[in-house]
Structure formats: structure tokens, C-alpha cells
Amino acid sequence: MTTTATTAITTGTWALDPTHTEIGFTVRHLMSKVRGKFETFEGTVTTGDDISDSRVDVSVDLSSINTGTVDRDNHLRSSDFFEVDTHPTMTFSAKDVIEKSDGLVVIGDLTIKGVTRTLELAVDLLGEGSDPWGGTRVGVEATGVISRKEFGVDFNIPLEGDKVMIGDKISIIINAEAVLQS
């Protein structure tokens, strides 16, 4: 097997393991933060001989949102937020993978509600190795920040003193394991 020059990731196609991957987020709500995650998604990572030749493609079922509160999750699925009846998925497709001294940067197109914007993710490679089932796995943690308003997800409730109930910045936190397919 070949590995990339400096990142030591085996070249090939990797599938996200949904039982060992979490696509989560944090958003400001009043004086605290709300955390959530998406339960249903699929994705592949294709690593090249050179890390810059690698690709990432992920599709997330927006109706699978889980913040731990059923009423809030149903509201997030509505036309006030994701409008899942019309826009059931969120997608990410990497355009560039750049190696830096402190990890990787993956830059790609994030599409929510038919709106595509660039998302930059800082990626920490957690390692690669054999699993107990004879496969090869790689682990990563990726973080980034988006403005929900840039994607047309702009519902809010004004509060006293020019404040609003829900923050605009969404922190994205992805902890993923992927299994080598070929």
C-alpha cells in the first residue's frame, strides 16, 4: 500500500463509519449554548498519493437532527430553519486539502437549503491502524465555523437591548472514523 508523503494515510477510498462518527454543532442560545448532532449521514474520503489530491464528499440527512429536545428538533426541521421538506440534505464536497505544520486544512463547498458557501475545516489526524475485524481505519477531528444567515437559516427572536435569542455563528465539530474500502 502506498501512503501519502508526509501524512502517512494509506491511499484509497474510505467510508465514514456512522457508528463511530459524530457530526455535531454548537450555537449560542440566550446566555448559554445548545449542542446537537446529525444522526444520519454518509461520506467518503479518497486519499491520493499526494494529500492535495485527496477528496471528501459527505451528505447529511437534515431531518436526523438531534439536540435532545423533540420540540426544538421539529422546529429546526421546519421552514423557519432547515425546511427539510424542500431541502432534505446538507452536502460538503472538498475542493482543496492543504497540509500545514499543525494538521490539515480541508476547504470545500458546503450546501444548505440550496445555498453553497466555502467552508474551511481544521483537521487533526488522530491516527490510522488495523481494527479487530481485519479492516484499516483512520480517525480525524475536524472543526470549523459558519454563519447560518449566509445559508438562509436566519430565523430569530429579538430580545431587549439589540440582542437576539439565537446566535449567527455555528461551530462545527466532527469526530470521524473511516474504514478503508479499496
CATH of the domain at 46: 2.40.128.110
Element spanning 60, H or E? strand 55-61
- When pLDDT is averaged across residues 148-164 and rounded to a whole number, the result is 90
Non-local CB neighbours of 53 within 8 Å, separated by 6+ positions:
97
Q: What is the extent of the structural domain holding 160?
A: 12-180
* 81, part of any domain: yes
> Cell for 120?
474551511
* 37, part of any domain: yes
* 150, part of any domain: yes
* 166, part of any domain: yes
> Cell for 132?
479487530
* pLDDT over 70, % of the chain: 96
In this predicted structure, the answer to whether residue 157 has a pLDDT above a threshold of 90 is no
Please give the residue that has the higher pLDDT: either 176 or 50.
176
Chain length of the chain: 182
Note whether 78 and 71 are within 8 A (CB).
no
pTM over 0.85: yes
* 7, part of any domain: no
Distance (Å, whole) CA 6 – CA 17: 25
Tally of domains in the chain:
1
* 2, part of any domain: no
pLDDT tens-digit readout, 31-86: 899 999 999 999 999 999 998 899 999 999 999 999 999 999 999 999 999 999 99
Q: What share of the chain is helix, strand, coil (3-state, %, to 5)?
A: 10, 60, 30
* 119, part of any domain: yes
* 156, part of any domain: yes
In this predicted structure, the answer to whether residue 2 has a pLDDT above a threshold of 80 is no
User: Lowest-confidence range among 23-32, 149-158, 159-168?
Assistant: 159-168
